[in-house]
Amino acid sequence: MSSPVENVVIIGTGCAGLTAAIYTARASLNPLVLEGPLPGGQLTTTSEVENFPGFPHGVDGFQLTQNMREQATRFGTRFESALVDKVDFTSMPRKLFCGDRVILAKTVIIATGASPRLTGIPGEKELYGGKGVTTCATCDGAFYRKMEVAVLGGGDSAAEEALFLTRFASKVYLVHRRDTLRASKIMADRAVAHEKIQCVWDSVPVEVLGVPEGAVRGLRVKNVKTGVETVLPVKGIFVAIGHIPNTAPFAPPLDIDEGGYFIPQPGSQVQTNVPGVYVAGDCSDHVYRQAITAAGMGCAAAIEAERWLAEHHAE
C-alpha cells in the first residue's frame, strides 16, 4: 500500500520531532509525524523537568511533551503510529517502509532518539523512573539533596553525572566494573579526586533493593575479583553505562559512527549524507542529550527541510 507523497515526514515524537513538527506545520508544510514505541520520547520517563527554559517552577516531563504535541497539532500536524523498519533513499520521493506500508516523502526528519542502556539486574526495572533508578542526573539529581547515591559506569557520562551529583548528594559511589575509568583523563581525574565521590572499583551491580517498599533503599554490588558482595546504602541509582541510538533502520544508507549515532555533514548539525534527509536530537547527539538541545536541533532540521523544499519543489 502506497501513500500520497508527503512534503515532510518526521519520525519520532520526542522534543526534537515535536519541535520539527511545530516549525514545519507553521510553515504550512502539513507534516506527517510517525509515532514509535515510546510516544513523547525519553522526557516522558522523567517526573519533573526543572531546566527547560520558560518554566520557572518546573514542568512535568509528560506534560511538556503533551504541550508540544498540542502546539504541533494546532498548526495542522498529523500523527500516525508507525514503526519504520527500512528505508530506500536512492530515488525521489524517499521511501519509508513500515511493515507492508510504504510512506513516500520529499523530505524526512529522523528524530528517533536513543534508549539508555540498562544493566538488567533485579529491581532496576521495577524502581525505574521516579522510584530511585534513573538515567539522567541533570534531570533528577536535585531530588537527592543530602542523600547517598550511586552512579553506575566508568565512561564520560558516569564521571560527569557523578561530579554533577556532588552538588546535591552527601556521597556519590561510582561503581565501575574495572579499576580504571574509561572517561577522558580530565574527567576521570576530577571524579577520582572529588572528596564526595567514592570509587567502588572492580564491582558490578547485582540487585537494586527496595522493590517491596516501592523506593530504592540500597544497591547490592559484587567485587568481581574477590566475589564479595556488599550493600551500598543509597536512595538513588544513576545508570550511566551508555545509550543505544535508535538508528538501525536507517544505516545504511545514512552514515553512523562506531557508537551507532548519525554523523551529520561537516558544518551542519542536522544534514545527513542524503539530500533532503535530516537528523535531530539524541539519535545524532551523544554529547549534550538535553531536551532543549534536541528541540533546537528539531528546529534547525525543520528550517533546512523547508529551504530544501523551496529550492527543489517550488510550485
Q: Which is nearer to ligand NAP, 103 or 152 (CB)?
A: 152
Q: Which is nearer to ligand NAP, 19 or 157 (CB)?
A: 157
What minimum distance in Å lies between the beta carbon of 286 and ligand NAP?
4
Q: Which is nearer to ligand NAP, 125 or 182 (CB)?
A: 182
| The only residue of 35, 124, 140, 156 in contact with ligand NAP, by rule CB under 6 A | 156
- Residue 175: its H or E element: strand 171-175
224-243 residues in contact with ligand NAP (CB under 6 A) are: 241-242
**Is residue 70 exposed (0-12), middle (13-18) or buried (19+ Cβ within 10 Å)?**
exposed
The vertex-261 CA angle with 256 and 266, nearest 5°, equals: 65
Size of interface with ligand NAP, in residues (CB under 6 A): 17
| The only residue of 93, 155, 281, 298 in contact with ligand NAP, by rule CB under 6 A | 155
191-220 residues in contact with ligand NAP (CB under 6 A) are: 204
Q: Does 154 bind ligand NAP (CB under 6 A)?
A: yes
**Helices 156-165 and 185-193, interaxial angle, to 10°?**
40
Q: Does 269 bind ligand NAP (CB under 6 A)?
A: no
Q: Note if 136 is an active site residue.
A: yes
Q: How far is CA 299 from CA 74, 78, 164, 247, in A?
A: 17, 18, 28, 20
Exactly one of 15, 98, 139, 283 is catalytic; name it.
Answer: 139
What's 113-158 look like in SS3?
Answer: CEEECCCCCCCCCCCECCCCEECCHHHHHHHHCCCEEEEECCCHHH
Q: Which is nearer to ligand NAP, 43 or 136 (CB)?
A: 136
Q: Note if 156 is an active site residue.
A: no
Q: Does 157 bind ligand NAP (CB under 6 A)?
A: yes
The x, y and z cell numbers of residue 262, run together, are 548519525
Instruction: For residue 299, give the nearest of 17, 61, 44 by alpha carbon.
Output: 17
What minimum distance in Å lies between the beta carbon of 184 and ligand NAP?
6
What minimum distance in Å lies between the beta carbon of 279 and ligand NAP?
17
What minimum distance in Å lies between the beta carbon of 136 and ligand NAP?
12
| The only residue of 66, 73, 119, 223 in contact with ligand NAP, by rule CB under 6 A | 119
Range in contact with ligand NAP (rule: CB under 6 A) among 71-79, 134-142, 150-158, 294-302: 150-158
What minimum distance in Å lies between the beta carbon of 186 and ligand NAP?
10
3-state DSSP call for residue 111?
Answer: coil
Q: Does 161 bind ligand NAP (CB under 6 A)?
A: no
Calpha distance 13→34 (Å, rounded): 7
Q: How many CB atoms lie within 10 A of CB 119?
A: 17
What minimum distance in Å lies between the beta carbon of 200 and ligand NAP?
12
Tell me the sheet residues that pair with 79. Answer: 33
Quote the longest CA-to-CA distance of the chain.
Answer: 71
Calpha distance 132→214 (Å, rounded): 9
Calpha distance 137→238 (Å, rounded): 7
Q: Note if 139 is an active site residue.
A: yes
Point out the residue whose Cβ comes nearest to ligand NAP.
155
Residue pair 127/208 in contact (Cβ under 8 Å)? The answer is yes
What minimum distance in Å lies between the beta carbon of 134 and ligand NAP?
14
| The only residue of 1, 193, 287, 314 in contact with ligand NAP, by rule CB under 6 A | 287
Contacts with ligand NAP, residue ranges (CB under 6 A): 119, 152-158, 160, 177-178, 182, 204, 241-242, 286-287
